[in-house]
């Protein structure tokens, strides 16, 4: 998917409306606990400002119910961005309206502002299909998008984490800006290069690591990547649905009973490429410091599988060591609760070592990104995606309408 980028434009004398992903975690006091998503947008922001362009940033934060809610204000984001850029970054009182338009018009060359949370407006999240079937919803969504589109000369999308959504700011706004430049930022460019490269021209052996709780979340990925990769390593609770499909006892482990037949089909589809854990770390309860034991194969009655076991770790480490391209999406166990983080941390360490030896390692956002951050290994990966759900859908081979509508390179 070759798209024009901000590098193809000179923003001098232009005003850019940039969709960023500033959905950062906040503590109870409203302080940002991880500013990684803000920092990820900096190369694009600085390019526009250094050109002498004017920049209007828009994003969502959290899940407000289509109305203003102070706890979801983007004020902490504007404040943090100002600290990083060492300049004042004002927050607009809303994202549309006369006051916002006046602020945008008053921006000076090299200046930027942040619009208030897009999701304070119901129109932002109206599904495009519903809008097509309901004239009232379409008018509301179009009116909101038109007001946003009128603020700028150029549209920039650098919010990969929401590229699988048909939100107004992601799809309807660039549609409204047809005839004006519509480009991607450096962050999306990097996402497309790494994730797209893994799908179309990976260095081999190409290994995919899939974890997390649900087989149902990974069906499309397994189907799409089986014909493209050499090995799929499975961990997390989803492994126990596969075990149940093999007729093995799973104790009290989390199993998607409605997807056991689907797991059988996927095993047959993937064949020898699909590798399942040969042992598990089990416990009677999920709690920090719980008493554990290692179970080979079946899970004992009254116990639940909560991490891959040491034998599986060694097997997976060996496979990763021989890989040239690795894509990882989903933890190997309940990594938020020690001691069930060992398998996930071991995989993260193996990936870091593989990167050091020249492999391309791609972390598919979400919990996997959180895991490599917790292990302080993010900087040793080739690429850490900023979109968990988006990267998963991209790996399934789905097309993203918000990217399709942008200018071709």
Structure tokens at 14: 């232009």
Instruction: Indicate if the pLDDT at residue 388 is higher than 80.
Output: no
Question: Is pLDDT at 189 greater than 70 in this prediction?
Answer: yes
pLDDT surpasses 70 at 400: yes
CATH code of domain 6-187? 3.40.50.1260
- Taking the C-alpha atoms of residue 259 and residue 155, their distance in angstroms, rounded to an integer, is 42
Q: Report the chain's mean pLDDT, rounded to a whole number.
A: 95
Contact 337, 281 (CB under 8 A): no
Share of the chain above pLDDT 70, in %: 100
**Is the whole model's pTM more than 0.85, yes or no?**
yes
75-97 average pLDDT score: 97
The dihedral through the CA atoms of 301, 303, 307, 313 has a sign that is negative
Q: Which residues 6+ apart lie within 8 Å of 195 measured at CB?
A: 327, 362, 385, 391, 394, 395
CA atoms within 13 A on the CB side of 42: 14
Domain 194-395: CATH architecture, name and number where available: 3-Layer(aba) Sandwich (3.40)
Active site (catalytic) residues: 37, 214, 366, 389
What pLDDT digit, counting tens, does each position of 18-68 carry?
999 999 999 999 999 989 899 999 999 999 999 999 999 999 999 998 999
State pLDDT tens for residues 303-341: 999 999 999 999 999 999 999 999 999 999 999 999 999
Asked whether the predicted pLDDT for residue 1 surpasses 80, the reply is no
Overall average pLDDT of the 242-265 stretch: 96
The pLDDT value given to residue 208: 96
- 370 compared with 98, residue with greater pLDDT: 98
Mean pLDDT of 195-207: 93
Which residue spans of the chain are classified as CATH 3.40.50.1260? 6-187, 194-395
pLDDT digit string, tens, across residues 127-176: 888 888 889 999 999 999 999 999 999 999 999 999 999 999 999 999 99
What the block records as the tokens of 181 is: 């430049």
């Amino acid at each position: 998917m070759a798209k024009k980028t901000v590098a193809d434009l000179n923003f001098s004398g232009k005003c850019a409306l940039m969709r960023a992903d500033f959905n950062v975690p906040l503590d109870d006091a409203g302080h940002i606990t991880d500013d990684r998503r803000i920092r990820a947008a900096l190369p694009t922001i600085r390019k526009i400002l250094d050109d002498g362009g004017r920049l209007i940033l828009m994003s969502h934060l959290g899940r407000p119910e289509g109305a203003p809610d102070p706890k979801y204000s983007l004020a902490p984001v504007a404040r943090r961005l100002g600290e990083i850029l060492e300049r004042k970054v004002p927050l607009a009182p809303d994202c549309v309206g006369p006051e916002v338009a006046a602020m945008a018009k008053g921006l000076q060359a090299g200046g930027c502002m942040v619009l208030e949370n897009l999701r304070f407006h119901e129109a932002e999240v109206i599904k495009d299909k519903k809008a097509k079937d309901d004239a009232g919803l379409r008018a509301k969504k179009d009116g909101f998008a038109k007001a946003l589109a009128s603020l700028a000369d150029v549209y920039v999308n650098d919010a990969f984490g929401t590229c699988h959504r048909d939100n107004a700011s992601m799809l309807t706004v660039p549609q409204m800006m047809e005839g004006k430049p519509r480009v991607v930022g450096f962050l999306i460019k990097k996402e497309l290069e790494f994730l797209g490269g893994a799908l179309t021209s990976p260095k081999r052996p190409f290994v995919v690591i899939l974890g997390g709780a649900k087989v149902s979340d990974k069906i499309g990925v397994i189907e799409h990547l089986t014909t493209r990769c050499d090995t799929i390593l499975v961990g997390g609770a989803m492994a126990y649905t596969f075990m149940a499909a093999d007729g093995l006892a799973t104790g009290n482990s989390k199993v998607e009973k409605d997807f056991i037949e689907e797991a059988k089909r996927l095993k047959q589809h993937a064949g020898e490429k699909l590798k399942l854990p040969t042992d598990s770390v089990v416990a009677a309860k999920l709690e920090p410091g719980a008493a554990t034991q290692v179970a080979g194969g079946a899970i004992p009655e009254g116990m639940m599988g909560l991490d891959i076991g040491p034998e599986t770790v060694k097997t997976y480490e060996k496979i990763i060591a021989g890989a040239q391209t690795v894509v990882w999406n989903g933890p190997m166990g309940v990594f938020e609760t020690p001691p069930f983080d060992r398998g996930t941390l071991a995989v993260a360490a193996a990936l870091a070592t593989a990167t050091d030896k020249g492999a391309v390692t791609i972390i598919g956002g979400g919990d996997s990104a959180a895991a490599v951050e917790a292990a302080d290994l993010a900087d040793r990966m080739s690429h850490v995606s900023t979109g968990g759900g988006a990267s998963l859908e991209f790996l399934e081979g789905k097309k993203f309408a918000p990217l399709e509508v942008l200018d071709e390179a």
